[in-house]
Structures are given as structure tokens and as C-alpha cells.
Amino acid sequence: MTAHAASTARALDTRPARPPAMPANVLTIALRELRDAVRSRWFLLYTLAFAALGLGVSYVSALGSGGAGLSGFGRTTAGLVNLVLLVVPLMALTAGAGSIASDRERGILAYLLAQPVSRFEVLLGKYFGLAGALLACLCLGVGACALVLALKGEATRPAAMLWLVGLAFGLSLGMLSLGMLVSVLARRASVAVGTAIFLWLALVFVSDLGLMAGALAFRLRIETLFALATANPLQVFKFWSLHSADATLDVLGPAGLYAVDTFGDHVVWLFTSVLAAWAVVPLAIAAVIFSRRAPV
Amino acid sequence: MIRIDSVTKRFGRATAVDNVSLDIPAGDSVALWGVNGAGKTTLIRCVLGLYRFSGRIEVGGHDVGRRGKRARALIGYVPQELGFHDELGVAEAVRYFALLRGLRVRSAESVLDDVGLAGHGGKRVRELSGGMKQRLALAIAMLGNPPVLVLDEVTASLDACGRGEFVGLLSRLSGAGRTILFASHRIEEVTTLARRVVVLEAGRIGAQTDSETFAESLGLHSMLHLTIRESTRRLALEHLCASGFAARMNGVGLLVPVAREQKAAPFRVLAEARIAIDDFELIAADAAGAPAHTQEAQP
């Protein structure tokens, strides 16, 4: 008789077992998710792409400004803002969209939820795990870029790089949250990822063009235009990163001027609130839907 | 230990489980029997809290709908097919699910050894065969020695030999005192593991009986004990398994569950393979301590 069989032979404890508390389960699931993400192809691919494009952007921006090659940290940061606007939302949206829907499709979710864990713990654990993976991806991508520049003797503003990583991470949390909402709603992983890509296109391109067209066609008032712009987390990221770089939003035209005139230094709190809302609200809606939907 | 009270589960207009009530006291083992679509898996998923349903289910006094986490802490679950990330390591999987139960596994290898997976801890889950994956699921289900075991057609994806081995392992590990609820449409599992059989028909309880009476009613209750020399015993087992018999080895020969009208069939198979049988005995299932069937009988 094996040790296991011997242990089952003794009287079983039928008192209610106390499962781990929520923080412990969230941490366990988050670490599992982080390990899985770091091992996955998307993580490697996005990190490499982010670093390679970052180097390319800084090189091209330096050539454009008459420099001979790689630019310094400050200008690279400015160049990276546009790269972040394109790559980070795509990365976070697709990572979030794939998480729940893919596990549901493969039967992994049902098996996990048959364990002594709550649905909220699973959702939160997955969110934190993927957020950790995104942060690692950003740090590695921007860090590689910074390292190359530093080795070239071009290091001037590393703090700007760190700030950019922080802002990009804030943006990625909102996009991850939205991606997870899509993942909870979708029945199939392919539908979830497809929807995430559609949302990415809408946020990156359509909202910009839509705002321009709307401003012209409907002669939108400047405050309406600014309110509509700040509803898009990508615009908030752009406002905030440029505000941090120049301490003025004049470069963003009338909307930027309106923001500075109306909110002054408090504009930072507005940006913080918008990004925080994007990180929290879709996730909260996802949690409510997830608690009601069958995982199979 | 498990109390199912007026449970109904609908998917749109279709009613998968229709007003089912069932009381399973501690230490009892109940088989949910029925054809595909009878509602076995749906009822099990309700017990696990995976589906929302009307009615009430309690496990160890905990309402599955309201205190699902507490209820599931009492349950070890083995699904039809293991849903794992393929890249996950086998030992890593054991440690992960142990943590979710608030347990720390010092040696995953010893847990794996209990289910015959010693030496496989370093492999990835995707490298395991279907039978090995089910053994891994069983090892995880037994973590923390839970008082309730819930099994959902656990041998559906296994071949005849794999089924026999897995049911034997389940029988050995499930132990006395544990409450077992399982879905099956294989009679060998029912006769080995269950004391009671609940027949589900279109989501409703059609009948309830003890497993012996149930097996008798299906006319499937004979076991052949064949005495075969050790040198040819393994070969004989392979031939019988290949012919659809859920044969297994014992000390001096093979135990072959047979349908009443097919008692001579194993002799024919072994004669064609030119394997000599030294002796044989027709025994009752109880005496062999094992199931007595080759056919996948349907109710």
C-alpha cells in the first residue's frame, strides 16, 4: 500500500476545509500567469519588436533633425511616444483578450474554477499576472533601447525614459482591462482577439480622424472636443507625455491650450483619473459578467 | 455530505437537469448513469458551481451558489479530459494546484508516485499520454485528502486497458470513508466504484438502485479467471485488450470481465493467438473484487 493509500485509509476529515484567502490565491494565479506569459511567443515577439522599433524610431528622428545617428534619451523619449501609442495598446488589448477566452476554449478555465478559488480571484490574478508581463516587456524593450544609447555615450535623460515606461504602463493597464472585458464577453478566443484588434484600430486611428471630422462637421466647441479627446486613453497618454516633456500643451493646438488654461497644474489629476478609470471600470464590468457566465 | 435539492438547469429552452433531488451521505459512492445528454455532466458542473442553476446544492453544509469556494475546498475533481496549459511542467502543476488548496508540497515526486507517475515530474503536460494526464488529474484531486471526490466520465478518452488500469487505481486510492459522485456510462466503473446508481433520463432521475442490482439488471455479471504461464501472460493481456476485453493481470493469470453470452470469447481470442490456458474459473465479481464486463453497456 502506498503512502497515499495509507493516508486515505485513515478517517477522513470532513470538517469544512478552509481555502486560502483571496490575496494568496490572487498571488498564486498571478505568478502562474506571469510565468506563462513570459514563456509565450507573444511576449518575446512584442519585446523584440518594441526594442527594435524603439531603436529605429530614435535613429530616424536623429537623422531627421540633422544628427548623425542615434539621438539622446530626451529626443528618443519623444520619438517613443508615438511608438508606444501604436504598440502598447495592441499588446495589452490582445493579451487581455486572449486570456479568459482562450482558457475557456481549452477547458483550462473550467478546471481552474473547479478548484477552491473564486471567479474574482481568477480574474484579478490573471489581470495582475498579465500586467506584470506587460511591465516586464516595456522595461526590457525601453531598457534595451536605453542601454544601446548609453553605450553610444548619448545618455542625457534616463528619468524621461523611466517616466515614459510608467505612463506606458498606465496606458497598458487600461487597455488590458478593456481586453479582459472583451475576453469575458467572447465565446471564442479568435473572436476575442479579432474584437481587440478592431478596438485598437478604433482607438488609434478612427477616434483621431473622427474627432477631426466631428470638429469640422459639427463645429464642436473646444471643451466638447477636449472632453471627447480625454475619453480616449491614448489621447490622454499623448497629452500627458507631451505635457511632461515640454510643460506645455500648446503643441497640441486649441485643445491643449484649453486644458492648460482651464485646469492649470490640475490637468495631471484629470489625466490620472481618466487612466485609472480605464484600468478599473472595464475590469469591474468584466468581473460582474464573469461571475454570471458559465466557464464552459 | 452532498445535498442536491430541486436542481434545475436550463440552456435557453432546453432543460438539461430537471428538478433533481439527491442526498449523498458521507462515505457513500454514487454513479450517475445515463446516455450522452442525460444530464450527468451538467449536474456535476452544478455541484462544482460551474453553472448557475435554480434549486440548492450543499457540499459539507456549504451552499455551492453562495459559498462555492468553501464547498470546492472539500472536493477533489477529475474531469473527462484534463485542461492544462500544455507548457506547464508536471511537478509544477502539482505544486500550483496544491497552493490553490493552501497546501505546500515538499516533494511533487511522492505525490506523482502514488498514481504511477514517478519520474515524470520533469516533463511538460503535453508530453503525457491521455492516461497519464488522467493520473495527473487524479493526483491533483487527491491533494489534501479531500472528503469528496467528483469524477466526470474520467475514462472516456482512454483505451480498454487504460480504462481498466485507471479504474483499478481509482478504486485503490479513493479509499473507505470518502464520498464519491461520478458520471459514467461504463458498467465496469459503476460496479467497481459505486454503491448506488442513479439513472438519469432526459435530465430527470429515472431510477435509483444499488450497483449490484443494477449490474444484474443489465445481465452483465461474470468474470473469467484464466491461469496462464508467466512467459505468455503479458502477450495474452495485449491480445485480449486489443479484442475489446477490459482484462487485467492478477497473481497467477488474468481476470477477464465477460458478458454472460460471451464467456467463451476470450478462449477463442487466445487460441487464435496460440496462447495456452492452463486452467480457468468462472467467478463472481465480488470474489474478484473487480468489475465484470467487457461491453460498454448502455441503459
Q: Which residues of chain B neighbour A8 with C-beta distances below 8 Å?
A: 142, 145, 173-178
Cell output for B244: 475489446
pLDDT: is A211 or A108 the higher one?
A108
Least confident of A162-166, B1-5, B178-182: A162-166
Nearest CA in chain B to A114: B48
Please indicate, yes or no, if residue A5 is contained in any of the structural domains: no
Q: Do the interacting molecules here have an ipTM over 0.90?
A: no
Q: Does B249 touch chain A (CB under 8 A)?
A: no
Residue numbers of the domain that contains A241: 22-292
* E strands present in B40-162: 54-59, 62-63, 75-78, 148-152
pLDDT tens digits, one per residue of A16-73: 467 889 999 999 999 999 998 888 888 888 888 888 888 887 677 666 555 544 445 5
Task: Say how far apart CA A257 and CA A264 lie, in whole Å.
Answer: 10
pLDDT score, position A27 = 96
Of B61, B73, B111, Cβ closest to residue A116: B73
Residue A74 scores a pLDDT above 60: no
Please indicate, yes or no, if residue A26 is contained in any of the structural domains: yes
Please indicate, yes or no, if residue A16 is contained in any of the structural domains: no
Alpha carbon A41 to its chain centroid, in Å, reads: 18
Cell output for A294: 458559465
Residue A13 — very low, low, confident or very high, per pLDDT cuts 50/70/90? very low
Specify which residues B4 forms β-bridges with. Answer: B22, B57
Please indicate, yes or no, if residue A17 is contained in any of the structural domains: no
Contact A7, B145 (CB under 8 A): yes
Residue A122 — very low, low, confident or very high, per pLDDT cuts 50/70/90? very high
Q: Closest Cα to residue B139, out of B110, B159, B106, B100?
A: B110
Please indicate, yes or no, if residue A204 is contained in any of the structural domains: yes
Provide Rg for chain A, Cα atoms: 23
Q: Does A6 touch chain B (CB under 8 A)?
A: no
Contact B163, B247 (CB under 8 A): no
* Mean pLDDT across chain B: 84
Please indicate, yes or no, if residue A10 is contained in any of the structural domains: no
Residue A111 scores a pLDDT above 90: yes
pLDDT score, position A212 = 78
Q: Does A292 touch chain B (CB under 8 A)?
A: yes
Q: Which of A111, A112, A120, A292 to mutate to test the interface with B (most CBs of B within 10 A)?
A: A111
- B106: left (phi > 0), else alpha (psi -120 to 50), else beta? alpha
Please indicate, yes or no, if residue A122 is contained in any of the structural domains: yes
Per the structure, the count of domains in chain A is 1
pLDDT score, position A251 = 62
Task: Say how far apart CA B229 and CA B214 lie, in whole Å.
Answer: 35
Cβ of B100 and A116 within 8 Å?
A: yes
Contact B43, B31 (CB under 8 A): no
Domains, in order of start, for chain B? 2-218 (3.40.50.300), 222-283 (3.30.70.120)
b/e per residue, B117-135, with b = 16+ CB within 10 A? beebbeeebeebebbbbbb
Please indicate, yes or no, if residue A12 is contained in any of the structural domains: no
- Looking at CA atoms only, how far is residue B173 from chain A in angstroms? 5
Interface of B with A in 59-118 (CB under 8 A): 60-62, 68-70, 72-75, 77, 79, 81-85, 87-88, 96-97, 99-102, 110-111, 113-115
Instruction: Report the predicted TM-score, pTM, of the whole model to 2 decimal places.
Output: 0.81
